[in-house]
């Protein structure tokens, strides 16, 4: 006999337990990212990704951005003097890209460029996943006041994305359990085979 029945039951139970655990779905939790990282205020326009890339040439050299387009929703919630026609801040909701359109539902580095007067502010959110939310403002540091001492109203907002650097993926405990079960099974089979060959040689 290559393996006694109790050892077989142990290995089978260990392997099945790992398989059941690994099959359980993992649900991603949406994150509230706040203002992310404020990357500064810059003069000029923000009509396309190159404007943001040029502005961040020193902070983020080699930055290559894509347009997020309609995959993000901006909602103004803060207004100058309570006037809905003059927003100065709000929230965003990132919905991700269609699965067949890169980056799909993979994490991204999100850049939000908020345009007001003759300048714009850039906010970086890293990483950003579908369903994540965040904040934006034309007056985060209280320094973009006009001559009347009030914040500039936001004229428009653009969102761009870059790839995030993936962190090492830890081995799930269930996978370690499965590997352990397989390793035990292989080891016992080798030991039993060697013993059988030794007995055959003596005979």
* pLDDT tens-digit map of 93-112: 999 999 999 999 999 999 99
Predicted local distance difference test score (pLDDT) of residue 43: 85
For residue 189, what pLDDT is reported? 56
How many CB atoms sit inside 10 A of residue 137's CB? 21
Confidence of residue 6 (pLDDT cuts 50, 70, 90): low
| 177: number of Cβ within 10 Å | 17
pLDDT of residue 46: 73
Residue 163 has pLDDT above 80, yes or no: no
- The closest of 200, 78, 91 to 151, measured between CA atoms, is 78
**What average pLDDT score do residues 139-159 get?**
82
- pLDDT of 164: 61
**Rounded to two decimals, what is the model's pTM?**
0.67
Could you report the per-residue pLDDT of 45-71, keeping only the tens digit for each? 777 788 889 999 999 998 899 999 999
Q: Say whether pLDDT at 197 is over 90.
A: no
Which region among 28-37, 56-65, 74-83, 138-147 has the lowest average model confidence (pLDDT)? 138-147
* Per-residue model confidence (pLDDT) at position 141: 79
């Amino acid at each position: 006999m290559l393996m006694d029945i109790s050892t077989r039951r142990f290995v089978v139970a260990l392997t099945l337990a790992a398989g059941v655990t690994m099959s359980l779905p993992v649900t991603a939790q949406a994150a509230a990212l706040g203002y992310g990282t404020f990357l500064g205020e810059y003069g000029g326009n923000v009509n396309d990704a190159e404007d943001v890339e040029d502005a961040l040439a020193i902070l983020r050299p080699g930055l290559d951005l894509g347009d997020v387009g309609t995959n993000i929703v901006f909602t103004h919630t803060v207004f100058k003097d309570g006037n809905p026609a003059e927003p100065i801040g709000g929230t965003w909701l990132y919905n991700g890209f269609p699965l067949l359109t890169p980056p799909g539902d993979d994490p991204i580095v999100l850049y939000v460029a908020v345009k007001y007067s003759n300048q714009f502010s850039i906010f970086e959110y890293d990483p950003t996943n579908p369903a994540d939310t965040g904040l934006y403002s034309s007056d985060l540091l209280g320094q973009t006041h006009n001559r009347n001492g009030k914040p500039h109203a936001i004229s428009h907002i653009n969102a761009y994305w870059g790839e995030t650097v993936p962190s090492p993926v830890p081995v799930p405990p269930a996978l370690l359990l499965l590997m352990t079960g397989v390793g035990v099974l292989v080891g016992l089979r080798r030991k039993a085979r060697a013993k059988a060959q030794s007995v055959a040689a003596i005979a």
